[in-house]
Amino acid sequence: MRLTCPLCGDRDRREFYYLGHETWLDRPAADAPPEAWDAYLHLRDNPCGPTRDLWQHEAGCGAWLVVSRDTATHEIASVELAR
């Protein structure tokens, strides 16, 4: 598998670190109820098909990326900078 980093271009999968679903971008507020933290840390939709997840170009520019891809086919639809 290869990912196209928006800053560095087409690169080998080994340059990237996978964190998990893009849920990781929606960090609850510090005073959010425990249920919100449970959902953030643990619960996942875990789709079989299109998903969006968070990667870092660890061995490249270091940018955090949101990758749209298919968990059933490993097809990559898009790679964007995470905001």
Partner 1 sequence: MRFNILEIVRQGLSGNSGWGPHWRSPDPKPEYDVVIVGGGGHGLATAFYLAKEHGITNVALLEKGYLGGGNVGRNTTIVRANYMLPGNSEFYSHSLKLWEGMEQELNYNAMMSQRGIYNLFHSDGQRDAYARRGNQMISQGDDAELLDRAAVRRRLPFLDHDNARFPVIGALYHGRGGTARHDAVAWGYARGADRRGVDLIQNCEVIGIDIEGGRVRGVQTTRGAIRAKKVALVTAGRSSQTAAMAGLRLPIESHVLQAFVSEGLKPLIDCVVTFGMGHFYISQSDKGGLVFGGDLDFYASYAARGNLPMAEHVMEAGMALMPMIGQARVLRSWGGIMDMTPDGSPIIDKTDIRGLYLDCGWCYGGFKAVPGSGFSLAHLVATDRHHAPAARFRLDRFARGAVIDEEATGSQHNLH
Q: How many residues bind to partner 1 according to rule CB under 8 A?
A: 27
45 binds partner 1 (CB under 8 A): yes
Residue 37 carries which side chain, given as an amino acid letter?
W
48 binds partner 1 (CB under 8 A): yes
Which of 11, 28, 53, 56 is in the footprint of partner 1 by CB under 8 A? 53
Please state the closest distance from residue 76 (CB atom) to partner 1, in A.
Answer: 11
User: Distances from the Cα of 13 to the Cαs of 17, 19, 72, 78, in angstroms?
Assistant: 8, 13, 17, 14
Interface residues with partner 1 (CB under 8 A) are: 1, 12-14, 18-21, 34-35, 38-39, 41-48, 51, 53, 55, 71-74
